[in-house]
Amino acid sequence: MVLGLFDSAIPFKGQKYSKLKDQAVSSGQLFEDPEFPPASSSLFHSKSAPSDIVWKRPGEIAAEPKFFVDGASTDDFHQGSLGNCWFVAAAACIAEKPKLLKKIIPDIEKQEWLPENKNKYAGIFHFRFWICGEWSDVVVDDYLPTRNGNLIYIHSKTRNEFWSALLEKAYAKIFGSYEALEGGHARDALVNMTGGVGEDITMADYTDSGEKKEKLFKILKSSIKDGSLISASISAKGDEMEAKTNTGLVKGHAYSVTAVRNIKLGQGLLSFFKREHIEMVRCRNPWGGTEWKGAWSDGSEEWSKVSDGEKKELGITIDDNGEFWMSFDDFCKNFTHIDLCHLINTSYFSLSKTWHEGEGIGEWKAHRCGGSVGNKDFLLNPQYVFDVNDDEDEVLVSLEQQDTRELTIPGGRDMHAIGFTITETDINREYRMHDKMETVHTSVFGFARAIFERVTLKSGRYVIFPTTLEPEKKGKFVLRMYFSSSPDFKELWHDEPPPPKCFSCLCKPPNSATQITIQSASNLENPNPLLDPDPYCEVICEGNKVKTSVCKSTKNPTWNERMTFYQKKNEDIKIEIWNDNLIKDDFLGQCEIPLSKRSQFTGKALQLPLFGKGKDAKQKGSLTVIILCTNEMDTV
């Protein structure tokens, strides 16, 4: 599960479920929510509600109402007159995950209608959603909009089952109205219901070669195996929305992807050892009923190639229930977009891969919204430092901005174009960067609630800048990164070392900074004539020691690694070069930077001769460095 998944939730709009329920039970009056009342304003924000819509409680809609009837299933989600198939598809995915469902719906048993608790029914329910980095507990009353006695929005196949309609109502409350749920992306709803990480895949990016296509199949198959939630859709323009294709698929609809499999073909003992496999995907239409009509659809002749045992294992039925299989090739040809919600494993007690999470909840605000890397104020953006400890690591990056769906009410704003830039930084960086080092990755920017990318990085320390495309765009964001090993991820808050907390004359603040780039060494002495050395540098400044990386098997290493020191005493800086060994390292030479000559160190490259343990002891080789000394500590 995601680190922090389903942590204690904050009462949405300050409404505490237990307190409100107790008040309702004590008063003998069913709860009516003043924050989301049974009124036109809860249905629409741009117009008045039709006069034939009537708010009713479940007991007025069906005899013996239930929260669940025979548990949760995908049949509990049938889309109504609202254009929110993206939410329907997401919720249908959740319905098949009991562990997730219990977290989204706390106290499931206590929220059920029970005959023995008839006098304790209060007409109040609560659900939990992840909203921009925090879990919120959302309370609703049980009034639901109807027309001619029937629910007009999400409804279950079973008339007296109401959990799906109440879940939709709680989600609509977050954004201010049911109308606010018109149009969206399934991944966003999945993230809200799980706290997972959303990813948008454009099919065209993976179908122009067989290699990419196979990579996509592996991504989807492993994602399903890891418990990720997936949906697929066909893009539609204007009047194409809800249009049905010749193959039975509906444009603009979000289909849940419920299985990704290699299916064996052939029957009988003779074919057992020579069976072919076909890559297959199982999907579900949230509308139910309307299904895929192409190859491998229900009852198609292709299924004759599959044994009865394999069919039974796959749960093949001929019911017109909205669920269907199709080949992966047809899946790629017909769908244009895939939404994934990764439930990233951060548990140390797991047999599958464990990821290490770094999370930053921040805000682009005045003097912290400098725009993308090409803008002059780029360095004013929020900054987060992290380490990559492996030789190479594929890092997962998710940047999510505050959902402005609720701000579609007059006076709101649209989504910003957001993205991120990763740069190299000093190997001992502890304070904000004030100059640009080499950029190693800049994401694609998008007008989306969240962007997700996989970035391959080499060992080292980096800074990531979450940004808007244009400067002066304000808003809240959540940055989440996932690594193979502990990243020591943290936000850089201060421009320079803060003043010491003690008031003693011994607690002096730093008064200058020295920035050293260890570029390379040449012609180093070799302590072992049979093997080239594995050299690294150790820089010693006022008691602080910083080591570079180790260069393997060379007498002429190149590091190009920078470090910054903040100084109080202006003592000389010593640089030692060592040969990395398993038991005891070999000394290869040293040099000193005399800070009495600090005015000469203006950021130019210098070649320094090496000497031995004593200053008069000669040593083979030299070290090339760039040194910058300054009293303006907020410039380095």
Q: Is it the case that residue 550 has pLDDT exceeding 70?
A: yes
Domains parsed from the chain with CATH numbers: 10-195 (no CATH), 198-342 (3.90.70.10), 356-491 (2.60.120.380), 512-635 (2.60.40.150)
Q: Is it the case that residue 286 has pLDDT exceeding 80?
A: no
Give the rounded distance of the alpha carbon of 172 from its chain centre.
23
Task: Give yes or no for a contact between 26 and 20, defined as CB atoms under 8 angstroms apart.
Answer: no
CB atoms within 10 A of CB 631: 9
What is residue 269's predicted lDDT score, i.e. its pLDDT? 44
| CA max distance for the chain | 99
Question: What are the tens digits of pLDDT across the range 309-365?
Answer: 888 887 776 666 678 999 999 999 999 999 999 999 887 666 678 899 999 999 999
Sorting pLDDT into bands at 50, 70 and 90, what band is 524? very high
Nearest to 584 by CA among 546, 499, 531, 527: 527
Distance CA 89, CA 293 (A): 20
- Rounded to 10 deg, the angle between the 163-175 and 186-194 helix axes is 100
Task: List, by residue number, the catalytic residues.
Answer: 85, 253, 285
Question: What are the tens digits of pLDDT across the range 121-166?
Answer: 999 999 999 999 999 999 999 999 999 999 999 999 999 999 999 9
- Rounded to 10 deg, the angle between the 163-175 and 85-95 helix axes is 130
What is residue 96's predicted lDDT score, i.e. its pLDDT? 81
Give the rounded distance of the alpha carbon of 282 from its chain centre.
25
pLDDT (average), residues 210-225: 93
Task: Give yes or no for a contact between 342 and 223, defined as CB atoms under 8 angstroms apart.
Answer: yes
> Tokens for 217?
């199949």
> Is residue 449 classed exposed, middle or buried when 0-12, 13-18 and 19+ CB atoms within 10 A define those classes?
buried
Q: DSSP of 40-67, one letter per residue?
A: HHHH-SSSPPPTT-EEE-HHHHSSS-BS
Task: Give yes or no for a contact between 509 and 633, defined as CB atoms under 8 angstroms apart.
Answer: no
Sorting pLDDT into bands at 50, 70 and 90, what band is 284? confident
Question: What are the tens digits of pLDDT across the range 368-422?
Answer: 999 999 999 999 999 999 999 999 999 999 999 999 887 655 555 689 999 999 9
Least confident window among 25-34, 276-285, 537-546:
276-285
Nearest to 575 by CA among 520, 533, 531: 520
What is residue 534's predicted lDDT score, i.e. its pLDDT? 97
Put simply, whether the predicted model's pTM sits higher than 0.85 gets the answer yes
pLDDT (average), residues 213-225: 93
Sorting pLDDT into bands at 50, 70 and 90, what band is 7? low
Nearest to 90 by CA among 219, 233, 205: 233
Nearest to 183 by CA among 252, 84, 82: 84
Looking from the CA of 180 toward its CB, the CA atoms found within 13 Å total 24
> Tokens for 324?
């269907």
pLDDT (average), residues 564-571: 92
Nearest to 444 by CA among 455, 432, 434: 455
Sequence length of the chain is 636
Sorting pLDDT into bands at 50, 70 and 90, what band is 528? confident
What is residue 243's predicted lDDT score, i.e. its pLDDT? 84
Question: Sign of the CA dihedral 301, 302, 305, 309?
Answer: negative
What is residue 2's predicted lDDT score, i.e. its pLDDT? 43
Distance CA 189, CA 87 (A): 6
What is the dihedral angle through the alpha carbons of 574, 575, 576, 577, rounded to the nearest 10 degrees? Answer: -170
Q: What is the 3-state secondary structure (H, E, C) of 419-483?
A: EEEEEECCCCCCCCCCCCCCEEEECCCECCCEEEEEEEEEEEEEEEEEEECCCCCCEEEEEEEEE
DSSP designation for 244: B
pLDDT (average), residues 241-253: 86
Direct distance between the N- and C-terminal alpha carbons of the chain, in angstroms, rounded to an integer: 40
What is residue 343's predicted lDDT score, i.e. its pLDDT? 92
What is residue 153's predicted lDDT score, i.e. its pLDDT? 97
What is residue 6's predicted lDDT score, i.e. its pLDDT? 47
Q: Which residues contact 14 (CB under 8 A, 6 or more apart)?
A: none
Q: Which residues contact 543 (CB under 8 A, 6 or more apart)?
A: none
pLDDT (average), residues 232-240: 85
Nearest to 112 by CA among 102, 144, 20: 102
Q: Mean pLDDT in the chain?
A: 90
